[in-house]
């Protein structure tokens, strides 16, 4: 399967926003465009503006184009605002819940934690990062992986856990209390432009 293996900070510079909420991505130098003096070239057309908004979200959740498009189609079939539905679907991914809980520092490390089998959902091992979680689901860490996860949590001192998750640091478990709310994106986003991009 195709996946991006290059430097992640280049993605932040390409879209002009920090796609990960860590110092490496949030410094001023990393938010200037690539090239001498951060040369931007011509002003983007309507297509370019919508493409940029889409890329911000896609890079933030570390998804391929085909996966992302599938989420947009699924959000469009649900009742309500398509943009909000899209954010809810992306936030409910297992790798994202591991990141939001503070068990991993970035989406890339959260994805690795899940795919290497360190995480249990309702007592059963799940190694698919895109596994969809529902309210009431409990995410726990395997006993043998506890030391690694605790080290990750110590490196993220001061991490703010969203209200829709209940984290128990002692037992290394997270409970999904309600449908997710995307309030922890490290940048401003216009979801309407993303929906328009695919129409």
Within 8 A by CB and 6+ apart from 131, the residues are: 93, 94, 114, 121
C-alpha 109: how far from chain center: 11
CA torsion, ordered 79, 85, 90, 91, to nearest 10 deg? -110
Strand 173-176 with 138-141, pairing: antiparallel
Structural domains in the chain, CATH included, are 9-90+188-197 (1.10.1050.10), 93-176 (3.10.290.10)
Tokens read off for 179: 């449908």
Q: What is the mean pLDDT of residues 52-74?
A: 93
Q: Are 126 and 113 in contact (CB under 8 A)?
A: no
Q: Inform me whether the pLDDT recorded for 59 exceeds 80.
A: yes
Q: Inform me whether the pLDDT recorded for 34 exceeds 70.
A: no
Q: What is the pTM of this model?
A: 0.87
Q: Inform me whether the pLDDT recorded for 135 exceeds 90.
A: yes
Question: Quick one: CA dihedral 183, 187, 193, 198, positive or negative?
Answer: negative
Q: How many CA atoms lie within 13 A of 167 on its CB side?
A: 17
Q: Inform me whether the pLDDT recorded for 176 exceeds 90.
A: yes
pLDDT band at 41 (very low <50, low <70, confident <90, very high): low
Q: Inform me whether the pLDDT recorded for 194 exceeds 80.
A: yes
Average pLDDT, the chain: 87
Q: Give pLDDT tens digits for 74-131.
A: 999 999 999 999 999 999 999 999 999 989 988 999 999 999 999 999 999 999 999 9
Q: Comparing 127 with 17, which gets the higher pLDDT?
A: 127
pLDDT of residue 5: 82
Within 8 A by CB and 6+ apart from 175, the residues are: 136, 137, 138, 139, 165, 166, 168
pLDDT of residue 165: 92
pLDDT of residue 29: 64
pLDDT band at 38 (very low <50, low <70, confident <90, very high): low
How far apart CA 180 and CA 189 sit, in angstroms, is: 17
Q: Comparing 181 with 47, which gets the higher pLDDT?
A: 47
| Long-range contacts of 144-150, Cβ-Cβ distance < 8 Å, separation of 24 or more | 145/113, 145/118, 146/172, 148/118, 149/103, 149/104, 149/113, 149/118
How far apart CA 153 and CA 168 sit, in angstroms, is: 12
């Amino acid at each position: 399967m195709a996946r991006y293996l290059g430097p992640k900070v280049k993605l932040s510079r390409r879209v002009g926003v920090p796609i990960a909420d860590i110092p490496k991505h949030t410094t001023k130098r990393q938010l200037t465009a690539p090239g001498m003096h951060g040369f931007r070239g011509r002003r983007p057309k309507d297509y370019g503006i919508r493409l940029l908004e889409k890329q911000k979200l896609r890079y933030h959740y570390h998804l391929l184009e085909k996966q992302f498009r599938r989420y947009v189609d699924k959000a469009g079939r649900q009742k309500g605002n398509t943009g909000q539905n899209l954010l809810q679907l992306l936030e409910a991914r297992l790798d994202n819940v591991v990141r939001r809980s503070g068990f991993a520092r970035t989406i890339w490390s959260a994805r690795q934690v899940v795919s290497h089998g360190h995480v249990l959902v309702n007592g059963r091992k799940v190694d698919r990062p895109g596994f969809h979680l529902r309210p009431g689901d409990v995410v726990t860490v395997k006993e043998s992986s506890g030391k690694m996860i605790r080290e990750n949590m110590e490196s993220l001192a001061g991490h703010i856990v969203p209200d829709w998750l209940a984290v128990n640091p002692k037992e290394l478990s997270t409970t999904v209390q309600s449908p997710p709310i995307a309030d922890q994106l490290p940048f401003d986003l216009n979801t309407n432009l993303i929906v328009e991009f695919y129409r």
